[in-house]
Amino acid sequence: MTLVDRPTHVRAEVSGRGVHLWWGDRSADLHPHWLRDHSTEPGQIEATNWQRLFTPLDIPADLYVRAAELGDQVLVVDFSDGHRAHLVLATLARDLGWTADPDAPPAPEPWTEPLAEFPYVDWAGIGWSDEESDNDAVIAFLDAFFRHGYVVFRNTPVDEGTVARIANRIGYISGQNFGWVFDVRAEPNPTDLAYTTIELLAHTDEPYRIEPPGIQLLHCIANEAPGGDSTLTDGLAAASAIGAEHPDWHRALSEVEVDFRYDMGTDTVVNRGTVLQYDRHGRYRGIRFNTKLDTPLPRPGDDLDAWYAGRRWLTEWCNDPAHQVTFRLEPGDVMFMDNHRAMHGRTAFDASRGRRHLQGCYIEHNGPDTMYRLAVRRRAMLSR
């Protein structure tokens, strides 16, 4: 546990059944069960994995705090069940949201025009293991990804299957209805519009899954056909923009339930949800935007005029070159993008005049989140 600088003014006293804690200009009543659950005394947690060994049934429901006093970096609490716990103040402050999680990745930064510098990442700095990587390069890659929602790796092998190795270097590959790894190229009987040569407007992948894929990787093996340039737009910025300019349309896209459906007859994948997702604190959670396969499910009071106007507005905004970055994938490049935020597309291409072959797969968000936290801890250890 990293100890953080304590403000000079820290004070604790028993209050009701719990403890009132003052921390600088903040203070809170801490519930006795919340405090008890923070105990890391011997026998309370397993020493290797730090998971709690006691259950709610082991603690009296009417638990209360008998005494509380501050020690060196700890709050010492005596509970009515006879347990005494030395609670690390830095942990309590972090879990109360009073201090930042020292390992947490940076917050997203919405962008409404191409970044001043395209976020290319040389794969040589990431490597195939922690031992062969440059830890600062790993942190720089993840920092750019979390801020902007995408990066493009350069200088990866051009062999088929590379995308799966890269996925498993950063997280764990997650399969879906196209398998573990899918090939993006023109097919005679396409199971998705991606497997044609037509233009694809800005979209997110697989909104029809109960949990849409977290992060998509697209590895370029060949890109010799005229056309086929890639585009990316920031769905987070798009959501903010429509919220500021057209609150009614934003509300409809956040509230009207939509049926997202992939139906090949042989393979049917269905999910229902809203285009824009926020949690109950109003924090952005994601966008499902794919006008090829969305159908609103109106309920009494739903404003479909607003929903369709908002969908049209998003389609225009997200495909406006002023808001998009357009670039060309070269063999050995891997686009790495947050599918809950970065909306991708491509221009049409002429398959009769050259080969275009990408391989793709998905991982979940925990992959880069975990990689970032471990890299930051490694940097802290190395600097000691």
Per CB under 5 A, the segment of 98-106, 121-129, 161-169, 202-210 that binds Fe ion is 202-210
Task: For residues 361 and 215, give the distance between their C-alpha atoms in angstroms, rounded to a whole number.
Answer: 8
Beta carbon of residue 163, minimum distance to Fe ion (angstroms, whole number): 14
Number of residues forming the site for Fe ion (CB under 5 A): 1
Nearer to Fe ion, 2 or 291 (CB): 291
What is the closest distance, in whole angstroms, from the C-beta atom of residue 175 to Fe ion in the complex? Answer: 16
- Of 292 and 379, nearer to Fe ion (C-beta) is 292
Shortest separation between residue 82's beta carbon and Fe ion, angstroms: 59
Pair of tokens at residue 102: 């020292």
Q: How far is the CB of 194 from Fe ion (least distance, A)?
A: 5
| CB nearer to Fe ion: pick between 133 and 233 | 233
Candidates 205, 206, 234, 333; binder of Fe ion (CB under 5 A) is: 205
Nearer to Fe ion, 205 or 234 (CB): 205
The residue (of 6 and 209) whose beta carbon lies closer to Fe ion is 209
- Taking the complex as a whole, the smallest distance from the CB of residue 170 to Fe ion amounts, in Å, to 19
Closest CB to Fe ion among residues 205, 338: 205
Pick the stretch among 59-67, 78-86, 203-211, 285-293 that binds Fe ion (CB under 5 A): 203-211
Count CB neighbours of 179 within 10 A: 9
Binding part of the chain for Fe ion, among 72-80, 109-117, 199-207, 275-283 by CB under 5 A, reads: 199-207
Looking at residue 382, its amino acid is L
Q: What is the amino acid identity at position 219?
A: H
- Determine whether 378 is exposed, middle or buried from the number of CB atoms within 10 Å of its CB (0-12, 13-18, 19+): middle
Choices 182-190, 197-205, 318-326, 357-365 (CB under 5 A): range interacting with Fe ion: 197-205
Nearer to Fe ion among residue 323 and residue 346 (C-beta): 346
Q: Provide the minimum distance between the beta carbon of 52 and Fe ion in the complex, in angstroms, as a whole number.
A: 41
Stretch that binds Fe ion, among 38-46, 160-168, 198-206, 299-307 (CB under 5 A): 198-206
Nearer to Fe ion, 99 or 339 (CB): 339
Q: Which residue number has the CB closest to Fe ion?
A: 205
Separation between Cα atoms, residue 13 and residue 22, nearest integer Å: 9
* Contact range with Fe ion by CB under 5 A, out of 74-82, 97-105, 109-117, 200-208: 200-208
- Least Å from the CB of residue 310 to Fe ion: 21
Q: Which residues 6+ apart lie within 8 Å of 1 measured at CB?
A: 88, 90, 91
33 vs 357 by CB, closer to Fe ion: 357
Query: What's the CA gap between 14 and 21, in Å, rounded?
Result: 9
CB of residue 176 to Fe ion, shortest distance in Å: 12
The stretch near Fe ion (CB under 5 A) out of 204-212, 228-236, 279-287, 331-339 is: 204-212
* In the complex, least distance from residue 290 CB atom to Fe ion, rounded to whole angstroms: 8
CA–CA separation, 107 vs 127, rounded Å? Answer: 25
Closer residue to Fe ion in complex, CB, 296/345: 345
State in angstroms the smallest separation of the CB of 42 from Fe ion. Answer: 52
Q: Residues interacting with Fe ion, by CB under 5 A? A: 205
